[in-house]
């Protein structure tokens, strides 16, 4: 059993304003950067998210193959899930 939060059977790990989605042992992962947010009541809600598909073939995670900016975390995760699924299927 994983110690990480999972979304659609893939780990989802957050540190500060950066979220990684995907298994680090696979060929691709998604990096989401929260660019802006606002407060609703007591909650911090992400407004603008940069979504990046990263080729995980080296020791550094800066091999961005696709990127886009989306409004809201839900929309960003829709793109993240689609991109990651397609990238991992293209072996």
Closest by CA to 32, choosing from 55, 12, 6, is 12
Q: What is the DSSP string of 30-75?
A: EEEEEEEEEEETTEEEEEEEEEEEEE--SSSS--EEEEEEEESHHH
Q: What is the pLDDT of residues 3-32, one digit of tens each?
A: 778 888 899 998 999 999 999 889 999 999
Structurally, the chain folds into a number of domains equal to: 1
Interval 49-57 mean pLDDT: 90
Q: Record the pTM.
A: 0.85
**Structural domain for 37, as ranges:** 5-89
Check residue 69 and give its pLDDT: 95
Largest CA distance in the chain: 45
Residue 75: predicted pLDDT: 94
């Amino acid at each position: 059993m994983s110690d990480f939060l999972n979304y659609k059977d893939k780990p989802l790990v957050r540190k500060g304003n950066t979220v990684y989605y995907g298994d680090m042992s696979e060929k691709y992962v998604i990096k989401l950067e929260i660019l802006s947010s606002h407060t609703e009541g007591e909650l911090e809600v992400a407004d603008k998210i940069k979504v990046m598909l990263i080729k995980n073939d080296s020791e550094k995670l800066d091999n961005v193959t696709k990127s886009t900016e989306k409004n809201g975390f839900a929309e960003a995760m829709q793109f993240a899930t689609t991109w990651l699924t397609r990238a991992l299927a293209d072996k």
